Amino acid sequence: MIKSKRPSAKLAPLETLLESARGHALPLPQRLAQLYGAFRMSKPRSRPHVFSNFVSTLDGVVSLQVKGHSGGGDISGFSGQDRMVMGLLRAAADVVIVGSGTLDADPQQVWTPESICPELAREYHQLKRDLGNPRASLNVIVSGRGPVNLRLPVFASGRVPAVILTTAQGAKRLLQQKVPDSVRIHAIRRRAGEIPAAAILEAVDRLSGGAGRILVEGGPRLLGTFYEERLMDEQFLSLAPQLSGREFGDARMSLVMGKSFAPRDPLWGELIDARRGGKLLFLRYSFSTGR
């Protein structure tokens, strides 16, 4: 999920409309608990818990695909509460996965809680410590063809451990660059093309030493792959009350792209949590998985 760095309004608490009773309560620091409320999540056991987060307009657009306006800030109205929730989900995750298209759209991004909501950096760090994982979450970039610039901050800054999941063709291309010490390049056993979500999770599990919670931040094509393979447990969706509209042939993206489910095989989620903050609704859906 791409966010703009434009300053936003002062953080204010969310109003709880419907609260999930599933999973275990996370030990939120006092200020974070005051802003979000109680936050529960399933405790991973035999497999990782996979979740995603996006902000969307009323007509389902998650990216305007316009230079300088492709981030989530233009969708959310640069909501501080949306940033706060995004930081919370990153702090709860052991691994954050993004596609190369998401990286291209925001090349200066590093997927940490404090990069999206620096006002709560101390609280996010405390939460990670209390969850038993004080280090920065592993940032995983998925790129089938490997046209990735290894001098970007997510790789070159050393702020996060990073893995690039790619194909044999992509790995060959990437190894033509100098690979920073904090970066690993892992080739999935396929020469080229789309990398299956199951293969991504298998590689992440092995490379991370057993990730418990995995956050998939997109883009919509990568998210579509996870939904197609029934590997997404939960969807967090911030709903903004704006209409972006689309013209015929418009490149604006919806939540899931490149895959079609209804009417033959629709995917139905269950609303398990709803909160209101400013103009936005913060919704949370549970999905049955095939694992």
Whether 286 contacts 22, CB under 8 Å: yes
Record the pTM: 0.92
**Alpha helices by DSSP H, the chain:** 30-36, 72-76, 80-92, 100-105, 113-116, 121-130, 153-156, 168-174, 197-208, 220-228
Residue type, 7: P
pLDDT computed for residue 142 by the predictor: 97
Look at residue 5 and tell me whether its pLDDT is greater than 50.
no
Kindly state the tokens that stand for 111: 């997927």
Residues β-bridged to residue 238: 55, 282
Whether 68 contacts 5, CB under 8 Å: no
Q: Indicate the pairing of strand 138-142 with strand 162-166.
A: parallel
- For the stretch 222-243, pLDDT in tens is 999 999 999 999 999 999 999 9
Whether 87 contacts 116, CB under 8 Å: yes
Local structure of 245: helix, strand or coil: coil
Q: How far apart are CA 200 and CA 140, in angstroms?
A: 9
Q: How far apart are CA 142 and CA 224, in angstroms?
A: 14
From the CB of residue 135, how many other CB atoms can be counted at a distance below 10 Å? 10
Whether 191 contacts 168, CB under 8 Å: yes
pLDDT computed for residue 221 by the predictor: 93
Share of the chain above pLDDT 90, in %: 76
Confidence of residue 113 (pLDDT cuts 50, 70, 90): very high
> For 168-189, b where at least 16 C-beta lie within 10 A, e where not — what string?
ebbbebbeeeeeeebbebebbe
Kindly state the tokens that stand for 251: 């490149």
Whether 116 contacts 73, CB under 8 Å: no
Q: Which residue has the tokens 């280090």?
A: 135
Whether 143 contacts 149, CB under 8 Å: no
Q: Which residue has the tokens 């979450």?
A: 137
Confidence of residue 94 (pLDDT cuts 50, 70, 90): very high
- For the stretch 139-198, pLDDT in tens is 999 999 889 999 999 999 999 999 999 999 999 999 999 999 999 999 998 766 789 999
What homologous superfamily is domain 15-38+48-55+75-243+270-286 in, according to CATH? Dihydrofolate Reductase, subunit A (3.40.430.10)
Return the closest-CA partner of residue 215 out of 60, 88, 84: 88
Mean pLDDT of the region 47-62: 94
50 DSSP 8-state letter: E
pLDDT computed for residue 290 by the predictor: 61
Whether 74 contacts 238, CB under 8 Å: no
Look at residue 45 and tell me whether its pLDDT is greater than 90.
no
Look at residue 70 and tell me whether its pLDDT is greater than 70.
no
Whether 232 contacts 226, CB under 8 Å: yes
Residues β-bridged to residue 271: 285
Q: How far apart are CA 271 and CA 133, in angstroms?
A: 29
Kindly state the tokens that stand for 145: 């063809």
Residues β-bridged to residue 61: 254
Residue type, 130: D
